[in-house]
Structure 1
Amino acid sequence: LNATVHHLSGQRPAAYHQDHSRPERPRTRTLEEEISHVMRARVVNPKWLQGVMRHGYKGAFEIVATLDYMFAFAATTGAVRTHHFDLAFDAFVRDDEVRTFLQRNNPQGYDELLNRFDEAVRRRLWTPRSNSVYSFFNGDTPDD
């Protein structure tokens, strides 16, 4: 719906997220606030990453799916900021342990993850803070 409003009016509508994880204290956040919250609490949280990595292929799939969700929100709402992609890239690709985990447990998923980051750059959803990310798109794993 947000993408349609943006396409027709040229303006991004306000978007909100209802958090009912604690029914006694529901919270309403802007979509931007919720994405920042999820980035810190889950996406780049080492405890979350270690937890999903205990599940082999399924954990690798979950990491790749997380980037797909980020990409979809970036493309349709504009609520994902470039620094969120930087954080995810650092956590999923630059981190040797996570990168190796993905390559071993779901090599096709890892390739899809790199392609999704590359597409985010090409579609101008992400402007990486470091030019060295481009070498990963070419199959290199440089020291940064």
Structure 2
Amino acid sequence: ALAVRSLTGETPDLYITNLRDPHNPMTETLQSFLRRELVARYFNPKWIEGMMEHDYAGAREMMKFTEYLWGWDVVTPDLITADMWNQVYDVYIQDKYNLGLEGFFKTNNPYALESIAARMLEAIRKDYWDPSDDVQTDLAETWQQLVDEYGVTCCHHTCGNLLLNEYMEGIISTPVGKSNTGRGGGGTYWKTTPTPTPVTQSSDGNETTEGGVGGVENLNPSKAASNSKELEGTVMEEKKLGGLMPPVSGVPWIAVLIVIVVLGLVYAGFFLVRR
């Protein structure tokens, strides 16, 4: 569908073959199937309660649903409506069924809720959804509170996504002086300011100390000299060892000639025997 729309400018009609009932297979439009799936499954409190029984994995399934919805919105924008995104916000962020979803996510998988909020904000930033300012602020505050408490989840739409970070900073005022990175080290989502290093001065005015890790202490020369001590011990001297190996030039030439003659005789005898 995405390829056809990029070439023709129009989204083609999409159909699926529904084989859930093998005795009654049917072909229907993707739009009718998706709408029924949303109502019967993802917006159904019974399905959500069933997912909540699976703790971490259940929270992950809810998060994956928002990813699938986003994927369909990108491929076929005419298929996903603003009302669908509004329903996601009402059900999973506002918890309109009073299922205790916020506590469930925070206890079992807070990163799933963080990813859901970030995905919805990314859909807004890319103009796939245009909710009210109150909804945008609530999503940004929800995301920031989760990051502040649990750290940044390093999913593909938040990890190092500077544009999304700047967009959320434009919605709410970001506190300066806090820095927090998530499980994957995906990046910093708060601005940081350097902490001034305390400087103290001694009463004599000649000694200055900088606090903090790796602080440097500057002492005046007279005080440094008074702290020096005379060392006592054995002095080690370097000595060169010579005479252990005679130089090559010292080998008698007569011995070399004898070896050459012997090798020549052996070779000559071997050659004569073979003949």
TM-score (norm 1): 0.89
Choose between structure 1 and 2: higher helix proportion.
1
Rounded Cα–Cα distance in structure 1 between residues aligned with 2:90 and 2:111? 19
Provide the rounded CA distance (Å) in 2 between the counterparts of 1:123 and 1:28: 33
Q: 1:107 and 2:107 equivalent?
A: no
The runs of at least 4 consecutive aligned structure 1 residues that moved more than 4 Å come to none
Listed as ranges, the gaps of 5+ residues in structure 1 are: none
SS of aligned partner of 1:28: strand
Deviations 1:61-115 (A, max 9, x none): 0000011001100110121111011111111110051233123211112111111
Which residue number in structure 1 is paired with residue 54 of structure 2?
A: 55
- Aligned residue number for residue 135 of structure 1: 137
Return the alpha-carbon distance in structure 1 between the equivalents of residues 129 and 28 of structure 2: 23
Moved more, 115-124 or 60-69: 115-124
Instruction: Give the alignment of 1:1-144 within 5 angstroms.
Output: 2-78=1-77, 79-95=79-95, 97-128=100-131, 130-140=132-142
Q: Partners in 1 of 2:56 and 2:15 — Cα distance?
A: 33
Distance in 2 (alpha carbons) for counterparts of 1:44 and 1:73: 17
CA distance in 1, matches of 2:102, 2:74: 25
C-alpha separation in 2, matches of 1:8 and 1:92 = 36
What is the identity percentage for the equivalent residue pairs of Structure 1 and Structure 2?
28
User: TM-score normalised to the size of structure 2?
Assistant: 0.48
State how far apart, in whole Å, the 2-side matches of 1:60 and 1:140 are.
Answer: 16
After superposition, the CA RMSD in angstroms is 1.6
Task: Tell me the CA shift for residue 56 of structure 1.
Answer: 0.2
Q: Name the structure, 1 or 2, with higher relative contact order (CA <8 Å, separation 6+).
A: 1
**3-state DSSP of counterpart to 1:62:** helix
Pick the structure with greater CA Rg: 2
* Alignment: residue pair count: 139
The answer for unaligned runs of 5 or more in structure 2 is 144-275
Distance 1:137 1:4, change over 3 A: same
